Structure formats: C-alpha cells, structure tokens
Homo-oligomer: A and B are copies of this chain.
C-alpha cells in the first residue's frame, strides 16, 4: 500500500481470459515499430494498456448528455444514460434547464451507501418538467452488444459494459439493466415504482448496493468529481439524512454542458468499452503484473472496473 520499491516478483501469478486481448493491445502499441514477434506475450499493466491506446479507443462526452453540478468545492460531471432511462433522462434535462436544482441541497449522506440531493420539502415547482416519470428499471436486451465479463457475478447471469456503463442482463428474460456500481446516479423514489423521475437524485458512494438493481431507475454516472461527493459528512438521521437543515450542502447549480459557454466547459473523453483495448484494460486489472502484486486475482467484478476518463486533447488544426 506504500510506494513500490525493492520488489521481488512472485512466480505464482496466472492468467485467465483476456490474454488475447492483451496481445491485441501489445500489437497496437507496436504498430508503428517493427512487427512484434509472434511469441511476445508480455502482459501489460492497466497503465501500459492505456498508454498504448489510440485516439479511436476514446470517445468525447456528448455535451447534450452531460451535466455539471457546481458545488462550492468544485464541479462534479455526470454522464447521462438515455440508453437505459430515456424518459427519466429527458425529465432530468428538463429539470436542469428550468434551473430546478439551483440552490437545492445535498440532504443525505449515508455511509457506504449513497449521497442524495433534491428538494427536502418536495414542493419546488418543476416548471416544464414532470414531477414523476414512470420507472425505467430495465430495458430489452435485444440488440445490445454487451462487453461481457468472463467471471461469475453474485447477482446476475450476465454482467459487462455497454456504452461505458456497467450492465447486467438476464438472457432468459430478455432484459438488461444498469448496475449500481460506485458513482452511478439514480432517481430516488417513494414506494410507488413510478414515483421517481429525477427531482431527487442519488449517487453510490460505497460497496455496490446491487440489491437496488431493478428497483430504482439509474440514469447516469459521475465521470469526474466523485471525491467531492464521497466525503460529504454522514448524516446522523435515519438513512443518513441530515437532521439539521444547516448541515445540508447547497448546490450552486446544475447545468447541461451544452448550455455552458464553451470556455467554461470541461473537455473530457472516456475510454470506449467496445474495443480490444477495453478488454485488455479489464484483463490487466484482473491480472495485475505490477511488481507489488504477488497473487494476481485472475478475476474481476463488474464494479471493480472504473472507466478511465481523461482530459480531451484539443483537436489538431
């Protein structure tokens, strides 16, 4: 857990799956140099996989599909997920464009669970948006190309990634759904399944609460700034709600990135999850070859694969 120095390398590490993908990444890294010998099988670290990636391995965030939450502490950036929750996402965009969230607070921080923001009184006018939107807990699996993980999952028969989001599926039911991993954003609701819609939003700040899967509409993911939300003082009330209104942390605003002047935007790009490079990245996280590791896990959980995000290089003139 400290700096890596004076290592010895164990010979006990082993590899399951993903080696072919690692080779692909190796080849890509070497594409501009001499051809790699067919016997090269040196496994890469995740950092090496990313260093060897090409611009095509990354995608820019769509400004029409990106939210900036402005806190006193800084900007939190959320990528929305209309592929999972089109109507809830549309409603959140309408709420945001009506400045609904401006001045509303973070009012709940439950340790190892969620941070939540919205209107504590539930009465603020929603303008052109809807107060509630029907649940979008699942969607049809048909037509989706999921980058599937090889390892078993405790909760679902299929897990993987779709468009940068962790996803699970049940082929027997023909259904797919976004998964409650760290940083995922959902629409709080009351007991009625259709009582959500985005007027209250929460983000996962702890161990993946997978029991919420298929019970709440997930509609996005924090791609930058999680460290501003995850440190919110935990509320001492039931479910982590702040007992005293003075404890609440106000949001300055939430804006659609496309509505923010270009000079004030944060240009980010996200690693695509439908490429050999992504598979190599997953494999590198499952089979750590950094000197510090002595027994690479050889396996990986869908919620232990954070999607790399980086500043987007300015396009070349």
Interface residues of chain A, those whose CB is within 8 Å of chain B, are: 1-8, 10, 108, 111-112, 114, 116, 137, 149, 151-155, 181-183, 186, 188-193, 195, 200, 202, 206-211, 213-216, 226-227, 230-234, 239, 285-286, 288, 291-297, 299-304, 306
Give A117 Cβ to nearest chain B Cβ, in Å. Answer: 11
Tell whether, in the assembled complex, residue B232 and residue A292 are in contact, meaning their CB atoms are under 8 Å apart: no
A301 cross-chain contacts in B, Cβ below 8 A: 154-155, 207-208, 210
Can you report 21 A-B residue pairs in the complex whose CB atoms are below 8 A from each other? A1-B186, A1-B200, A2-B200, A5-B191, A8-B192, A112-B230, A112-B306, A137-B294, A149-B154, A182-B206, A182-B207, A193-B294, A206-B206, A206-B230, A207-B208, A209-B304, A211-B286, A211-B293, A211-B304, A213-B297, A230-B231
A190 is contacted by which of B6, B108, B152 (Cβ under 8 Å)? B6
A202 cross-chain contacts in B, Cβ below 8 A: 1
Give A98 Cβ to nearest chain B Cβ, in Å. Answer: 21
Q: Which of A155, A189, A195 has the most CB of B within 10 A?
A: A155
Tell whether, in the assembled complex, residue A211 and residue B297 are in contact, meaning their CB atoms are under 8 Å apart: yes
Give A215 Cβ to nearest chain B Cβ, in Å. Answer: 6
Tell whether, in the assembled complex, residue B207 and residue A155 are in contact, meaning their CB atoms are under 8 Å apart: no
Give A134 Cβ to nearest chain B Cβ, in Å. Answer: 13
Tell whether, in the assembled complex, residue A294 and residue B200 are in contact, meaning their CB atoms are under 8 Å apart: no
In this complex, what residue of B is CB-closest to A108?
Answer: B1
In the assembly, what is the distance between CA of A214 and CA of B306, in Å? Answer: 22
Tell whether, in the assembled complex, residue B234 and residue A227 are in contact, meaning their CB atoms are under 8 Å apart: yes
In the assembly, what is the distance between CA of A297 and CA of B215, in Å? Answer: 9
A304 is contacted by which of B4, B149, B208, B216 (Cβ under 8 Å)? B208
Give A124 Cβ to nearest chain B Cβ, in Å. Answer: 15
**Contacts A1-B186, A152-B152 known; A111 to B227 CB distance under 8 Å?**
yes
A111 cross-chain contacts in B, Cβ below 8 A: 226-227, 230
Tell whether, in the assembled complex, residue B155 and residue A297 are in contact, meaning their CB atoms are under 8 Å apart: yes
Tell whether, in the assembled complex, residue A293 and residue B154 are in contact, meaning their CB atoms are under 8 Å apart: no
A149 cross-chain contacts in B, Cβ below 8 A: 154
Q: Which of A192, A207, A215, A291 has the most CB of B within 10 A?
A: A207
**Contacts A226-B111, A233-B231 known; A137 to B190 CB distance under 8 Å?**
no
A186 cross-chain contacts in B, Cβ below 8 A: 1
